[in-house]
Amino acid sequence: MTTRARATVTVTWPEANARRSARQHLCGPVPAVSPADAARAMLGAHAQVLSAAELSVGLRGEGLTRTDVRTALWTDRTLVKTFGPRGTVHLLPAADLPMWTGALSAVPTGPNPFPRDTRMTPGQVEEVVAAIGEALTGAELTVDELSEEVVARTGPWAGDLVMPGFQQMWPRWRQVLHLAGHRGALAYAPNRGRRATYTNPGYTPLPGPRAQAALVERYLYAYGPATPAHFARWLAAPKRWADGLFASLAASGAIEEVVFEDAGPSWVVAGDTDFAAGPVRGVRLLPYFDAFTIASQPRERLFPGRAFERALAGGQAGNYPVLLVDGTVAGVWHQRRSGRRIAVTVEPLEPLPAARLRALEDEVERVGAIMEGRAELAVGPVTVGPHA
């Protein structure tokens, strides 16, 4: 019987939050950070709303703009827009796509959420994913064009309109669109007008065990200390599977246990136990679904007190752009764009002193520069609850 070694390092929340903020490039603009570097540091930028992803990436580097992000995506191809953690659309570094696809395609899925007459058999899933990869090789297709190709390569059953989607019914095969992304058979291509297109990015996934080990180490470097439950929640994966993965990596010596003040036994990359003594300082504005607010745990410490009620939706992070003051959520904000003018309204949870207001003005100016507009600050009323 193997006895687990007792953790000898204790980490406080301020220490963990300060290190995470630094590694996320949120302690100030960092010179020579490319869009791919920024996306790598945060483990992908959530890109369901592309403008939010552009701001998330731009905030991590000195002088980055939304044009730089778009150039990295569609010209240099150092970024890829595809299905990432939780099956949601992300910007991921192209160089890391073999790891991402190898890891995500090997994550076990939960119970099938679809009605029995909507589901596909395992064999049909494989047929559809193969058909998607073949149809998109050397091509850029809209979803309707891709649907025609998939049905032609598989059979009429793939085109049955049985999937509810945005006030219409989608064909059966659409339920595995994200899986094709996780397998490396599909990624976004440049829009054709207002219509999204897809292509086959041509990356071969790493073997699952190797890729998942690499992803855990990347996650712990960026967001550790963390528990298997934190990792499972971030990835939308089964907790029991995450427990087993962490146990395997601990047994191999790849990760090391520490005591994390609010979470108990937690993990970091082996040997990565240096934490800065100083707390986080500064004012930051983070957009919808910024990776820092999604992945940092325990969530109650990042969203303290009334922030937990005002800036979360039923405990789910990302639904509100947030104001960070000294590394913790201290309000929400929103923006309205008209041409180059961007009206930024910030609603703090507590009145901001003069020095904080000056720092906020600087941050708003930076948001405007990243989004290639002229941002103007308005401070809204101090919010007192989720409906204020």
Of residues 384 and 221, more confidence is placed in: 221
User: Count of CB atoms within 10 A of residue 339's CB?
Assistant: 7
Map out the domains of the chain as residue ranges. Answer: 10-15+206-269, 115-202
Please give the sequence-ordered ranges of beta strands (E in DSSP) within the chain, or none if there are none: 10-11, 45-46, 79-83, 89-93, 141-142, 161-165, 168-171, 187-192, 195-199, 255-260, 264-269, 283-286, 322-325, 328-338, 341-348, 374-379
Buried b (16+ CB within 10 A) or exposed e, 135-164: bbeeebbbeebbbebbbeebeeebbbebbe
Give residue 2's pLDDT: 46
Average pLDDT over residues 297-302: 95
The CATH code of domain 10-15+206-269 reads 1.10.10.10
Q: Per-residue pLDDT for 1 more than 70?
A: no
Cβ proximity of 85 and 235 under 8 Å? yes
Average pLDDT over residues 208-212: 96
Query: Cβ-count burial of 129 within 10 angstroms (0-12 exposed, 13-18 middle, 19+ buried)?
Result: buried
The CATH code of domain 115-202 reads 3.30.63
Average pLDDT, the chain: 93
**CA angle, 13 then 23 then 106, to 5°:** 95
pLDDT band for position 316 (cuts 50, 70, 90): confident
Q: Provide the residue type at 82 as one letter.
A: T
Average pLDDT over residues 159-174: 91
pLDDT band for position 109 (cuts 50, 70, 90): confident
CB within 8 A of 204, min separation 6: which ones? 98, 184
Question: pTM score, two decimals?
Answer: 0.93
